[in-house]
Chains A and B, each alone.
Chain A
Amino acid sequence: MSTITSARPETATPGATAARRRRLRARRLEPFAYIAPAFVALAVIIGYPVFNAIGTSFLNASLLRPGQDTFAGLANYSNLFASPTFWTVTARTLVWAGAALVVQVGLGLLIATTLNKRLLARGAIRTTLIVPWVVPTVLVALIWRFLLDPVSGPINSVLRSSGLLDDPPVWLADPTWALPVLVLISAWKWTPFTAVILLAGMQQIPPEQYEAAMVDGASPWQRFFHVTIPSIRTSLALVTLTTISGAINNFNGIWMFTRGGPVGATEILTTYAYRTAFMEFDFGKASAISVVIFVLMMVLAVTYFYVVEGRKGEKR
C-alpha cells in the first residue's frame, strides 16, 4: 500500500485539453463536496465542544447557576495547580499510563514473538485472543467483579481453599490493590489486541532477513533487536501511542469498576474531571482539568501524525 500515492488522473490521462481544463477547474471545489458532510458533523459534535470546553475553563461556571457564568481568568488553572489533589491525580494518571504501556506492549511483544513461530491453528488462536477486545467493557466489569467478589468469587475461594491466603484482600475495595488489579484487568482486555497488531507487523518481515542474520551468527536476542524491532517500528509506534492515549482517556473501565475509589486510589484525570463536573457541578474547574488531559492527548496526536503519516509524506 505504501507505494501507491494519491495519483492524479490528469497526469495519467492525456485526453482532450479543453475537457481536461474544465475538469481541473471543477476539481478545486470538488474535493470539498466529498469532505464537507463529514466535516460538518465533526465541527458540530467535536470541534465546537472542544472550543467551548476551552472557553469554559476560563469561566466561573456551575450547573447550579445556569446562565450566570462570570469570567474567571486563569483562576481555575491557578486553583488547580495549587491543589495537591490535582498533582496526585496527574501523577497517578501517568503511572497508570506507564503501567499500561509496560504491561500491554511488553507482554504484547512477547506474545506476538511467540505466536510468530510456526503454529498449529494460528488463525483460530489469533481469533480467540481478540475476543476480550470486542467484548464491551461493561461485560468485562461484570465478569471480573464476579471473579473477584470477596465472598462468592472463585478467585478468593481458590486462594482460601488452597491455603495460599487465609484472608485474601477484597481486591477492588482495597486501596493498595485496586489500581494494580485494574491495570491487570485492563491488560487482559487490551494486550491480546496489541499482540495481534504487532504480530501482523512481524508477519510482513521477509524470512530472508532472519536467514541472513542467522548466517551471520546472530543469537535469537540479536535477531529480535536487530531484525524484528526495527522492522515493526511503525506498528510499535502505533500501539505505544494508542496504549498511552487509551489509558489516559480511559473512563468507562475505571468508572464501572471503582468510580475512582476506594478513597481515590484509582482516580485519574478523567474520573476527576467527571466528578468535578457532574457531582460538584463546577464546570469551570472540570473544564480546566479536561484541558490538561487535552494538552497531553494533543502532544500524543501530533507525535503520532509525524511518526506514522510524516514518514509516508516524505516518500511522496
Chain B
Amino acid sequence: MRRTRTRASFGAHLVAVVLILGTVLPFLWMLVSSFKTPSELNGVDKRLLPSGLFLGNYTKLLDTNFLTYFGNSVIVAAATTIVALLLAILAGYGFARFTFIGNRGMLLVVVAAQMFPAVMLAIPLFITVKNLGLLDSLVGLVVVYVSFALPFCIWLMRNYFLAVPVETEEAALIDGCTRFRALWRVVLPPALPGVMAAAVFTIIQVWEEFLYANTFIDTDSKRTLSVGLNSLIGEFTTDWGRLLAAGVLVMIPVLLIFGYLQRYVTQIAGGGVKG
C-alpha cells in the first residue's frame, strides 16, 4: 500500500507541476514582455527574453488615464465592501437566529437574486439609476454593486452565524446586553473569517465588473479599471507594450490582496457548500 502511494504521489506531483506552469506562464509572459522594446515585441528582433529592463511601456502608460481608472476602482471597491458587509451582517444574523414567517421564501429570494441575468437588469437599472440622478457617478455604481454583492454575503454570513454557538450570546443577553450589541461584541468576532471571505468576494466582484460600469459611466475620468483597460485594448490593439505594462500594474494589487486574504478564498466556496 505504501508503494502505491509513493507512485501515485509522483504522478500527482507531475500533474501539479503542469497545472502550475499552465497557470503561471501566461502571467510570467506578460511580465517579461512588458519590459520588451517595440521591435522585440513585434518579433522584428527575435528573442525570448528582453535585452534589458525597457521601461518605455510603463512611462507611455502614464500618458493615459490609467491611474485614474485605478483610483476609481479602489474607491468603489472600498465603499461597496463596507456598505455591503454592514447590511449582510445584519441580514445574515437575522436569518441565522430567527424563525419567522417567510423565512424560507426570503432565503430562496436571496439564492435566486444571485442568478438574475445581469444583462436583463441592465436596461431597467439604467433607467432607475438615471431617475436617482446617479448616472455617470461612482456613487451610482456603489449602490448597484452593493445590491449585487448582498445575496452571497448574506448567505455566507448566515452560514457562519449558524456555526457560532447560541450559548455565547445568551450569556451576553443575560448580562443585560441588547441583542444588537451582542451581535457586534460576541457573535461577530468568531464569525470574522466569514466577514473576511465576504469582503474578498465583494472586492473581486467590483474589480471584475464591466457591464454596468460600461453602461452607466460616460466620462472617461470616472471609468473603473475593467472598462478603462478594455477601452485601452480597443484603442491601441497594436501597442501591446503599453497594454502589458497596464496588465502588470493591475496584477500587483490583485496579488497583494489575494496573498493576504487567500485562505479566506476557499471559504467563499465553503460558505455555499457547508451544511
What is the chain A residue whose CB lies nearest that of B12?
A: A117
What is the chain B residue whose CB lies nearest that of A50?
A: B116
**Cross-chain contact B120 with A142 (CB below 8 angstroms):** no
Q: Hey, which chain A residues are within 8 Å of B22, CB to CB?
A: 188
**Cross-chain contact B170 with A114 (CB below 8 angstroms):** no
Q: Let me know if A305 is at the binding interface, CB within 8 A.
A: yes
**Cross-chain contact B91 with A34 (CB below 8 angstroms):** yes
What is the chain A residue whose CB lies nearest that of B113?
A: A46
Map CB proximity to A onto B42-80 as digits: 1 under 8 Å, 0 otherwise.
Answer: 110000000000000000000000000000000000000
**Cross-chain contact B104 with A313 (CB below 8 angstroms):** yes
Q: Let me know if A177 is at the binding interface, CB within 8 A.
A: no
What is the chain A residue whose CB lies nearest that of B14?
A: A114
**Cross-chain contact B125 with A273 (CB below 8 angstroms):** no
What is the chain B residue whose CB lies nearest that of A194?
A: B269
**Cross-chain contact B226 with A137 (CB below 8 angstroms):** yes
Residues of B236-275 at the interface with A, using a CB-CB cut-off of 8 Å, are 240, 243-244, 246-247, 250-251, 254-255, 257-258, 262, 265-266, 269-270, 272-275
CB distance from B146 to the nearest CB of A (A): 6
Q: Let me know if B192 is at the binding interface, CB within 8 A.
A: no
| CA A274 to CA B121, docked complex, whole Å | 11
Q: Hey, which chain A residues are within 8 Å of B9, CB to CB?
A: 117-119
**Cross-chain contact B125 with A197 (CB below 8 angstroms):** no
**Cross-chain contact B117 with A152 (CB below 8 angstroms):** no
Q: Hey, which chain A residues are within 8 Å of B95, CB to CB?
A: 6, 35
Of A79-87, A163-171, A286-294, the one touching chain B: A286-294
Residues of B145-188 at the interface with A, using a CB-CB cut-off of 8 Å, are 146-148, 150-151, 154, 159, 162-163, 165-167, 169-170, 173-174, 179
**Cross-chain contact B151 with A114 (CB below 8 angstroms):** no
Q: Let me know if A182 is at the binding interface, CB within 8 A.
A: no
Q: Hey, which chain B residues are within 8 Å of A193, CB to CB?
A: 269
CB distance from B109 to the nearest CB of A (A): 8
Q: Let me know if A179 is at the binding interface, CB within 8 A.
A: no
Map CB proximity to B onto A1-34 as digits: 1 under 8 Å, 0 otherwise.
Answer: 1101111110011010000000000011011111
**Cross-chain contact A138 with B226 (CB below 8 angstroms):** yes
Q: Let me know if B23 is at the binding interface, CB within 8 A.
A: yes
Number of interface residues of B (CB under 8 A): 109
Q: Let me know if A196 is at the binding interface, CB within 8 A.
A: yes
**Cross-chain contact B111 with A293 (CB below 8 angstroms):** no
**Cross-chain contact A31 with B23 (CB below 8 angstroms):** no
CB distance from A246 to the nearest CB of B (A): 10
Q: Hey, which chain B residues are within 8 Å of A39, CB to CB?
A: 91, 106
| CA A134 to CA B42, docked complex, whole Å | 30
**Cross-chain contact B115 with A301 (CB below 8 angstroms):** yes
**Cross-chain contact A120 with B87 (CB below 8 angstroms):** no
Q: Hey, which chain A residues are within 8 Å of B135, CB to CB?
A: none
**Cross-chain contact A12 with B166 (CB below 8 angstroms):** yes
Q: Let me know if B217 is at the binding interface, CB within 8 A.
A: no
**Cross-chain contact B147 with A42 (CB below 8 angstroms):** yes
What is the chain B residue whose CB lies nearest that of A306?
A: B108
CB distance from A228 to the nearest CB of B (A): 14
What is the chain A residue whose CB lies nearest that of B243?
A: A142
| CA A211 to CA B175, docked complex, whole Å | 50
What is the chain A residue whose CB lies nearest that of B228?
A: A138
**Cross-chain contact A37 with B128 (CB below 8 angstroms):** no
Q: Hey, which chain B residues are within 8 Å of A41, CB to CB?
A: 87, 143, 146-147, 150
Residues of A252-306 at the interface with B, using a CB-CB cut-off of 8 Å, are 252, 255-256, 270, 273-274, 277-278, 283, 286-287, 290-291, 293-294, 297-298, 300-302, 304-305
**Cross-chain contact B147 with A32 (CB below 8 angstroms):** no
Q: Hey, which chain B residues are within 8 Å of A270, CB to CB?
A: 117-119
**Cross-chain contact A308 with B275 (CB below 8 angstroms):** yes
Contact partner of B170 among A1, A9, A34, A48, CB < 8 A? A9
**Cross-chain contact A141 with B230 (CB below 8 angstroms):** yes
Q: Hey, which chain B residues are within 8 Å of A30, CB to CB?
A: 98, 179
Given A52-B124, A127-B262, A297-B116, answer yes or no on A255-B162 (Cβ-Cβ < 8 Å).
no
What is the chain A residue whose CB lies nearest that of B206?
A: A136
**Cross-chain contact A136 with B41 (CB below 8 angstroms):** no
| CA A119 to CA B1, docked complex, whole Å | 16
What is the chain A residue whose CB lies nearest that of B132?
A: A44
CB distance from B186 to the nearest CB of A (A): 13
26 A-B residue pairs with Cβ-Cβ distance under 8 Å, sorted by A, are A4-B162, A7-B166, A13-B174, A34-B98, A35-B95, A37-B91, A38-B90, A46-B147, A50-B121, A56-B123, A118-B9, A120-B13, A125-B19, A135-B251, A138-B210, A145-B233, A146-B243, A147-B29, A152-B240, A214-B1, A238-B269, A238-B273, A251-B210, A256-B210, A301-B108, A313-B104
B interface residues, Cβ below 8 angstroms from A: 1, 5, 8-9, 11-13, 15-16, 19-20, 22-24, 26-27, 29-30, 33, 41-43, 87-88, 90-91, 93-100, 103-104, 106-125, 127-128, 143-144, 146-148, 150-151, 154, 159, 162-163, 165-167, 169-170, 173-174, 179, 204, 207-211, 215, 225-226, 229-230, 233, 240, 243-244, 246-247, 250-251, 254-255, 257-258, 262, 265-266, 269-270, 272-275
Having A38-B87, A118-B12, A147-B29, one finds 12 other A-B pairs with CB under 8 Å, namely: A1-B275, A12-B170, A30-B179, A35-B94, A130-B262, A131-B255, A146-B244, A200-B273, A249-B118, A278-B215, A290-B117, A294-B117
